[in-house]
Structure 1
Amino acid sequence: MKKVLPIILVLVVVAAVFAWSRFQEPASNDNILTLFGNIDIREAQLTFNASEHVNKILVEEGEQVTAGQLLASLHQELFQSRVAQEEAQVEARRQQMIKLQAGSRPEEIDKARAELEAARARAEAAHDTWQRLQTLAAKKLASREEVELARSNAHASQAQVAAARAALRLLQAGPRKEDIATAKADLKAAEAALRVAHKNLANTELRAPANGIIRTRILEPGDMASPLKPALTLAFANPVWVRAYLPESLLGRVKPGMAASIISDSYPQKKYQGWVGYISPTAEFTPKNVETPELRTRLVYQVRIFACNPQDELRLGMPATVEIDLQAPTTAIPDCK
């Protein structure tokens, strides 16, 4: 009996190792390759692109959402005020540019003409006064100081005429091209600032980037949000795939685009259409805990078998069985609708 016991133990160990190796190897025959894996999907940590307190969270965990749907919002009062301020700046710049482009009004030109005529009249009067005082000074009836003062007034009056004439010419010529260009540039800058204000206001709303399911509500109303702090976790509805591992010995028989059937434990009587969408270009060690050194050093290649999931029945982490017809030609991606 003592001699038989070690033999029995050896046989049990050999049988266990054989059974484990069979469990690790994908089942296959001449035509059908069977792989075992788990459903995988992509996820995103959704964040606000603004810093402010959360006002509303409009979705619950497990809720299905569509692309563009409003999920949450921040308090918007400060951002709305900034938009109003920039709108006022744009309107002021626009009116300034319109004013310059319109040029001088006829009333302004008429006023300048009248001021020029008045300046000419004052200059003539000053010149006449100077001439009269010069005559009087020759007869010793006016002082030299009075003559000098009259001459200065006459020259000043002539300068005022020149200034009035130049002002009239400026009004008739209208604004300088450089002034109009500056006004246009100021308007563009104000419009750009307004677009930034509108964008900042839009950033207070968090919208779904694609169809999916809300996995986690991380922030709640009253929490402080920022671009570095996720608010929600979204699991994308598409794509959905089975993550499995292919031994090197079968690598040459599986090609991207091959049709596949997927069966889950939750719906064992239902087959989902699928196709081989990705085969890893690099090998990795078998991602499981095993007992023997031989299996621990075995290299495999990750393969993704994408699945049609129109009813959203395949969920993250679900075990799945994949069957690939190795003799079937590669086909176009099926329509999953």
Structure 2
Amino acid sequence: MKKKILIIVIIGALTAGLALAYWRWSHNNDQQRQWELYGNMDIREVDLGFGVDGPIAQVLVEEGDSVEAGQILAILEQEPFLDAVQAVEATLKFAEARMTEGIHGPRPQEIERARAAVQGAEATLANATLIHSRRQRLVDERAASEEVASTTQADRIVAEANLKKAREDLALLLEGTRHEQKQQQHAEFEAQRANLALLRYRLSRATLKAPNAGIIRTRIQEPGAVVTANSPVFTLALTDPLWCRVYVDESDLGKVRMGMPARITTDSYPGKSYRGWVGYISPVAEFTPKAVETPELRTNLVYQTRVYTCDPDQELRLGMPATVTLSLHEEVRTAPASLSDYCKTP
């Protein structure tokens, strides 16, 4: 009887030993197949400001509001910008009319009027010459004074000058606008058009729009405040892309590859994981930041790594501690072109 009990005890001990050995082997194998890293959630932030100076007329969002790309966030007073645009539009029309006139040249009616002026000046000169000749004969015959001849001589000189001017005016009209004048008129038109484009651009920058989807983190200015160009009005936290920033020891760098699949977990949502992939490995080593929760010495050289993740319910927050589990046994895929495309795939 004692012999049977001894055999049963030995068999039970061997079974327990084998079970313990299998558990240790399975646990070690799982550790070899998976690798945990610790870091913090990170996103990009951008300071948003108007591109021009002026007083703020409206602020349309509050801190914590979710905004879409292109959504209007705030508006400056528009009147000064609209008035400047209208003034330059009028100047541009005038410059365009001058340029068109220079291209087309004088109208036929203007040329005919210039020719008529030449003919009239010729007739006036002929009449002045005839009168002067008659008066000069009277002076030669001593039937009139020298003053009479001097007056008619002056009239003839004036008529000659008027005829010369009329002929030159006609010649200018027949020749048309000079090439240099056309270039000048064209340059004035282009300058005004460029000025109008600049003012319209300034008008567009007087309305502040969200460059990307995100969450308003800070509202810095209020209506009535006079701001300068590019001074911050909001701080926008972008919701895409979102990643966990971890640090990999130099000795473990060979385990990490671009496109490696990963799972991210946080203490805030126990039991829930977020899928992701390794999207960035720093080419430069650095000392471990003091804020990183790792069991290794903080003076080790490490490489910053970003594990991009999907967060459809917007539960992850900037700076939130997170655990990244890399699947060392899974096949490494080609890194996605964008995080949004990756999150759309199941």
Could you give the per-residue CA deviations for residues 226-261 of structure 1, whole angstroms, max 9, x where no partner exists?
Answer: 235311010011111111121222111112221112
3-state DSSP class of the match of 1:30?
helix
Structure 2 equivalent of residue 336 of structure 1: 343
3-state DSSP class of the match of 1:233?
strand
Q: 2:283 aligns with which of 264, 277, 281?
A: 281
Q: 1:100 aligns with which of 99, 102, 124?
A: 102
Which amino acid in 2 is paired with 1:295?
Answer: L
- 1:200-279 counterparts in 2 under 5 A? 200-227=202-229, 229-279=231-281
Query: Which whole-Å CA distance do the structure 1 matches of 2:343 and 2:255 have between them?
Result: 25
Could you give the per-residue CA deviations for residues 56-77 of structure 1, whole angstroms, max 9, x where no partner exists?
Answer: 1111211111111111111112
Query: Which whole-Å CA distance do the structure 2 matches of 1:242 and 1:328 have between them?
Result: 20
3-state DSSP class of the match of 1:67?
coil
Query: Which whole-Å CA distance do the structure 2 matches of 1:208 and 1:40 have between them?
Result: 20
Query: Which whole-Å CA distance do the structure 2 matches of 1:332 and 1:174 have between them?
Result: 69
Query: Which whole-Å CA distance do the structure 2 matches of 1:32 and 1:282 have between them?
Result: 25
Structure 1 equivalent of residue 24 of structure 2: none
- Any gaps of 5 or more consecutive residues in structure 2? 1-29, 337-341
Identical-residue share of aligned pairs (%): 44
3-state DSSP class of the match of 1:257?
coil
Q: 1:319 aligns with which of 318, 321, 324?
A: 321
Structure 1 equivalent of residue 187 of structure 2: 185
Residue 118 and residue 254 in structure 1: after superposition, are their counterparts in 2 closer, same or farther (change >3 A)? same
Q: 2:297 aligns with which of 286, 295, 298?
A: 295
3-state DSSP class of the match of 1:221?
coil
Query: Which whole-Å CA distance do the structure 2 matches of 1:170 and 1:261 have between them?
Result: 84
Which amino acid in 2 is paired with 1:245?
Answer: Y
Residue 318 and residue 113 in structure 1: after superposition, are their counterparts in 2 closer, same or farther (change >3 A)? same
Q: Calculate the TM-score normalised by the size of structure 1.
A: 0.84
Structure 1 equivalent of residue 70 of structure 2: 68
Query: Which whole-Å CA distance do the structure 2 matches of 1:336 and 1:285 have between them?
Result: 32
3-state DSSP class of the match of 1:295?
coil
Residue 80, structure 1, aligned to residue 82, structure 2: yes
Q: Are the aligned partners of 2:70 and 2:210 in contact in 1 as well (CA < 8 Å)?
A: yes
- 1:152-167 counterparts in 2 under 5 A? 152-167=154-169
Q: Compute the displacement of 1:275 (Å).
A: 1.2
- Any gaps of 5 or more consecutive residues in structure 1? 1-27
Could you give the per-residue CA deviations for residues 45-64 of structure 1, whole angstroms, max 9, x where no partner exists?
Answer: 11111221211111121111
Q: Compute the displacement of 1:189 (Å).
A: 0.9
> Which stretch has the larger CA shift, 232-241 or 104-113?
104-113
Could you give the per-residue CA deviations for residues 163-213 of structure 1, whole angstroms, max 9, x where no partner exists?
Answer: 212212222222222222211111111111111111111111111111111
Could you give the per-residue CA deviations for residues 11-45 of structure 1, whole angstroms, max 9, x where no partner exists?
Answer: xxxxxxxxxxxxxxxxx821211112111111011
Structure 2 equivalent of residue 168 of structure 1: 170
Residue 47 and residue 152 in structure 1: after superposition, are their counterparts in 2 closer, same or farther (change >3 A)? same
Q: Compute the displacement of 1:298 (Å).
A: 2.9
Query: Which whole-Å CA distance do the structure 2 matches of 1:88 and 1:48 have between them?
Result: 27
Structure 1 equivalent of residue 13 of structure 2: none
Query: Which whole-Å CA distance do the structure 1 matches of 2:113 and 2:288 have between them?
Result: 94
Residue 157 and residue 75 in structure 1: after superposition, are their counterparts in 2 closer, same or farther (change >3 A)? same
Query: Which whole-Å CA distance do the structure 1 matches of 2:120 and 2:98 have between them?
Result: 31
Which amino acid in 2 is paired with 1:336?
Answer: C
Residue 178 and residue 285 in structure 1: after superposition, are their counterparts in 2 closer, same or farther (change >3 A)? closer
Q: Calculate the TM-score normalised by the size of structure 2.
A: 0.82
3-state DSSP class of the match of 1:50?
coil
> Which stretch has the larger CA shift, 139-148 or 323-332?
139-148
Query: Which whole-Å CA distance do the structure 2 matches of 1:210 and 1:321 have between them?
Result: 28
Structure 1 equivalent of residue 39 of structure 2: 37
Query: Which whole-Å CA distance do the structure 2 matches of 1:297 and 1:94 have between them?
Result: 70
Structure 2 equivalent of residue 13 of structure 1: none
